[in-house]
Amino acid sequence: MSPVLFDRPLWSRWLPQTFAARVFLVFALTTFSGTVVGLVLLNYQQYSRHVQETRASIEKLAEVSLQPITDSAVVSDYDAIARLLRRIVPGSPLEEAVFTDAAGGTIRASNDTASDAPAWLSRLVARSVPDLQHSIMIGGRSYGELVLRYNPALVAGDLWALLLKTIGLATVGLALSLVVMRYAMRRWLRTLDGLHAVEAEVMAGTLNAQVTLL
């Protein structure tokens, strides 16, 4: 066994030995890194967009419902408030809408939505969109408070589904590009690998370079 083998670092023995394999390794690492960075940027952009749309949707619901709730609170028509809350919560990004009158009584409408998103993503979304609170006041007199709590699981579920889709598409695209590039490099650099093998034999003294060139 050649003593040169023992002088090489241990990690270098695991590296590709041919030039084509080394070029492919660099290409694979670069492509993988670019894919990961692209996925992170894309999903962060989608996350920001979903959060902004959710905030805008909740603010719109508050604008639409605040005036009729105020009118009903002034005349103590709490049945009308309850009907309105039950209409705006289903099909919206809200988890719960709560009206608390001046005496402390509460009227609430909730919307339980299951989600396959992991808990960490729901917690992340929950920190991004706080509850929306509006005081019901007319002429300096308080008639209660309206609280709109959005559903983080609903937003997290949409983001999780999008994340899985983008990861799946990126994985398929990355695998196809690596397969095609591997095949192309083996064809393009096969002759160069042969020259490297000849050079190694010449440097080891097992092949006469002058005879080979002739």
Total domains in the fold of the chain:
1
Cα–Cα distances in angstroms (integers) from residue 54 to residues 13, 129, 132, 154, 155, in the given order: 54, 8, 12, 10, 8
pLDDT tens string 8-18: 555 556 666 66
Token match 């490099």: residue?
185
Which structural domain range is residue 46 located in? 21-196
* Per-residue model confidence (pLDDT) at position 1: 43
Give the mean pLDDT of 84-106: 86
Q: Is 204 helix (H, G, I), strand (E, B) or coil?
A: helix
Both tokens assigned to 35: 């894919």
pLDDT tens string 130-179: 888 888 888 888 888 999 888 888 888 888 888 899 999 989 988 898 88
User: Does any domain span residue 7?
Assistant: no
* Per-residue model confidence (pLDDT) at position 183: 80
User: Does any domain span residue 123?
Assistant: yes
CATH of the domain at 46: 3.30.450
CB contact at 8 A, 146 and 99: yes
User: Does any domain span residue 70?
Assistant: yes
Token match 């270098």: residue?
12
User: Does any domain span residue 191?
Assistant: yes
Q: What is the pTM of this model?
A: 0.64
Cα–Cα distances in angstroms (integers) from residue 160 to residues 43, 90, 116, in the given order: 10, 22, 8
User: Does any domain span residue 124?
Assistant: yes
Q: Is 150 helix (H, G, I), strand (E, B) or coil?
A: strand
How many residues belong to the chain?
214
* Per-residue model confidence (pLDDT) at position 119: 84
Both tokens assigned to 159: 């983001």
Is residue 182 over pLDDT 70?
A: yes
User: Does any domain span residue 203?
Assistant: no
pLDDT tens string 25-69: 888 888 889 889 988 998 888 888 888 888 888 888 888 888 898
Phi, psi angle pair for 110, to nearest 5°:
-120, 160
Give the mean pLDDT of 98-125: 84
User: Does any domain span residue 201?
Assistant: no
* Per-residue model confidence (pLDDT) at position 50: 84
User: Does any domain span residue 125?
Assistant: yes
Query: What is the DSSP secondary-structure string of 82-149?
Result: HHHHHHHSTTSSEEEEEEEETTS-EEEEE------S-HHHHHHHHHHSPPEEEEEEETTEEEEEEEEE
Is residue 196 over pLDDT 80?
A: no
* Per-residue model confidence (pLDDT) at position 6: 46
CB contact at 8 A, 95 and 147: no
